[in-house]
Amino acid sequence: MSAVWKLMATISNSLSLKHGLSLCSPYSSSLNRSFHTPTVGYRTVYRNYVVASSAFSNENREYVIVGGGNAAGYAARTFVEHGMADGRLCIVTKEPHAPYERPALTKGYLFPLDKKPARLPGFHTCVGSGGERQTPDWYKEKGIEMLYEDPVTSVDIEKQTLATNSGRVLKYGTLIIATGCTASRFPEKIGGNLPGVHYIRDVADADALISSLEKARKVVVVGGGYIGMEVAAAAVGWKLDTTIIFPEKHLLQRLFTPSLAYRYEELYKENGVKFLKGTSIKNLEAGSDGRVASVKLEDGSIIEADTVIIGIGAKPAVGPFEKVGLNLNATVGGIQVDGLFRTNIPGIFAIGDVAAFPLKMYNRTARVEHVDHARRSAQHCVKALLTAQTTVYDYLPYFYSRVFEYEGSPRKIWWQFFGDNVGETIEIGNFDPKIATFWMDSGKLKGVLLESGSPEEFQLLPKLARSQPSVDKSKLQKASSVEEALEIAQESLQAAV
């Protein structure tokens, strides 16, 4: 196996619902001690200028969030809801934009202009969950200081200070780390940084990819997970020659069963997408102009490509916090926290993708890279910080995807999954348009995936996955339709109440 695919295999395993959300001790003694968040002063905001009223310098901030993604945006909203944002909260981000709903980048942003692509300010946080759109003006109006394009470069735990790229030094009282993840990249020596090779994590990445797609003829997508599936579907909207390459046996191997993946692969093929599965990449090769021109496989074969998108996973962006005494989780990565998102250092919290937290209902530690967890962890953390709430985070794993949603698409796809994909599976439906997969373990329903369900059917899924009712397997297997199967599962749920 090549070094590239070893990297991809490692990433795939780390993200696996079955294995990557690993069994670890959910709580350590250091995480159970009492935490007292120091109050270091406050700042009063009058209209468009700031008056410092702190015992420290005017660089003092009571609450600082590092990271400008979805988790930061939802945390900011929760601070506002508790009346603790105005003149007290500062968000430090490397991006030039206010927090936005990142899934839009691969689900709608990449569409051609004639197919009504998503654009800012349309998908600023918190519209993804039906909340108010938090534009830059919203943060100003709420008295929240935004430091754009100024990433944190170092932290001093003893002095409670952060240094940023511009040379600014911020004194914090409470620190919330919401740095998310960075895209896993191909090494430079095999062409990972060639012009025409793209990774997707932010708007700038998406804009660069669109510039390539506008001129592209042949696109290669590396990776058969969420990013690969969503980007390939967008490329179809551009009517481009598109090939997906990945080392696994089928699409989204960490969640889909082989038969379920087959249904989706056939749909992609109907849309002109080609697959190279179980295939290793040796390197990306440049043409005479220095741009990527082809993908060379380990068997020596060459796939022409003028645009390559790498979607092989991500890694937690621990950055400057890696060497300051925070507990890092060796199994799932990220910063170890307890059920209130407290780290082992008093006054410091971590939320979203970067947090390794106790997955209470399955008694294991997890790090979840998903927008739903980013939202919920932010809200839970800030409520625990600002109120007397002591209820620990009790997250139900949830994943979804939407593809082919552009205008003129003959079929739009939207599936949702809740729970744990363990045990044996029962598949009901013919994918025309519905299909459901149930995961059963020891007679109990552990997880369920539904494609093209109604709003009422989708609302049933989390109830089933959280309650884990005992279901008659033979009865479920005999269901003649998805609707009947869900009705059987719902009857089991009601019987358990």
User: What are the φ/ψ torsions at residue 356 (nearest 5 degrees)?
Assistant: -95, 105
Determine the Cα–Cα distance for residues 445 and 471; give it in Å rounded to an integer: 6
Question: Which residue has tokens 């925070």?
Answer: 326
Cis peptide, bond prior to residue 381, ω within 30 of zero? no
Task: Average the pLDDT over 240-248 and give the result.
Answer: 97
Same fold, 188-312 and 412-495: no
Q: What is the pLDDT of residues 86-115, one digit of tens each?
A: 999 999 999 999 999 999 999 999 999 999
Question: CATH fold of 412-495, please?
Answer: Enolase-like; domain 1 (3.30.390)
Distance of CA 140 to the CA centre of its chain: 27
Confidence of residue 60 (pLDDT cuts 50, 70, 90): confident
Q: What is the pLDDT of residues 385-434, one digit of tens each?
A: 999 999 999 999 999 999 999 988 989 999 999 999 999 999 999 999 99
For 462-481, the three-class secondary structure string (H helix, E strand, C coil) is: HHHHHHCCECCHHHHHCCCC
**pLDDT at position 204 over 90:** yes
Q: What are the sequence ranges of the domains in the chain? A: 60-182+316-387, 188-312, 412-495
Distances in Å between the Cα of 109 and the Cα atoms of 89, 235, 276, 313, 453 are 30, 12, 26, 19, 24
Determine the Cα–Cα distance for residues 245 and 294; give it in Å rounded to an integer: 13
DSSP class of 143: T
Q: What is the pLDDT of residues 135-173, one digit of tens each?
A: 999 999 999 999 999 999 999 999 999 999 999 999 999
Determine the Cα–Cα distance for residues 130 and 89; give it in Å rounded to an integer: 23
CB-CB contact of 74 with 375 (8 Å): yes
Determine the Cα–Cα distance for residues 277 and 42; give it in Å rounded to an integer: 57
CB-CB contact of 383 with 389 (8 Å): yes
Q: What pLDDT was estimated at residue 12?
A: 41
Question: Which residue has tokens 């092989």?
Answer: 312
Of 106, 302, 297, 289, which Cα lies nearest the Cα of 215? 289
Is 0.85 surpassed by the pTM of this model? Answer: yes
CB-CB contact of 278 with 302 (8 Å): no
Structural class in CATH, domain 188-312: alpha beta
Q: What pLDDT was estimated at residue 494?
A: 85
496: helix, coil or strand?
helix
Which contiguous run of DSSP H or E holds residue 495?
Answer: helix 482-496
Token code pair at residue 334: 């990220």
Q: What is the pLDDT of residues 275-322, one digit of tens each?
A: 999 999 999 999 999 999 999 999 999 999 999 999 999 999 999 999
Q: What is the dihedral of CA 24, 26, 30, 34, to 10 degrees?
A: 170
CATH architecture of 60-182+316-387: 3-Layer(bba) Sandwich (3.50)
Task: Average the pLDDT over 348-366 and give the result.
Answer: 97
Distances in Å between the Cα of 277 and the Cα atoms of 219, 243, 290 are 16, 10, 28
Reported residue count of the chain is 497
| Helix ranges, 117-190 (H) | 136-141
